[in-house]
Amino acid sequence: QSALTQPASVSGSPGQSITISCTGTSSDVGSYNLVSWYQQHPGKAPKLMIYEGTKRPSGVSNRFSGSKSGNTASLTISGLQAEDEADYYCCSYAGRNTVVFGGGTKVTVL
């Protein structure tokens, strides 16, 4: 069970759109529509932003959207804002009642 692969960092200017990729295998991301995304500000607990690949919990801005193609899931943040600067983690169901996280991506708003 290996960690999902995310870019270490992604940056963008206010108002731009950025996309964070999350690459797994046919045993996890590719087999299930059960990818979730979490936002973590320094010193804080992670916060659920996307679940089941594309769904947003109540209260999460519609600037956040999720998608999947093959073994890669993606999180897109549109209309980037200063408050979006944080670490982002993907997570996928990996079969046999286990989950696996990605290594995390640091988003910087320039």
Which pair of tokens denotes residue 32? 């299930």
Among 46, 65, 71, 107, which residue interacts with another protein (rule: CB under 8 A)? Answer: 46
Which pair of tokens denotes residue 72? 């890669």
Binding pattern for the stretch 9-38 against another protein, x by CB under 8 A and - elsewhere = -----------------------x-x-x-x
User: How far is Cα 51 from Cα 35, in angstroms, rounded to an integer?
Assistant: 6
* Residue 91 touching another protein (CB under 8 A): yes
User: How far is Cα 62 from Cα 49, in angstroms, rounded to an integer?
Assistant: 10
* Residue 81 touching another protein (CB under 8 A): no
Q: Which residue, 45 or 82, is less far from another protein as judged by CB? A: 45
Q: Give me the residue label for tokens 């801005």.
A: 61
Q: Which stretch binds another protein (CB under 8 A): 13-21, 68-76, 78-86, 91-99?
A: 91-99
The secondary structure of residue 17, as a DSSP letter, is -
CA triplet 29, 81, 6: central angle to 5 degrees? Answer: 25
> Under the rule (CB under 8 A), what is the footprint of another protein?
1, 3, 32, 34, 36, 38, 45-48, 51-52, 57, 89, 91, 93, 96-104
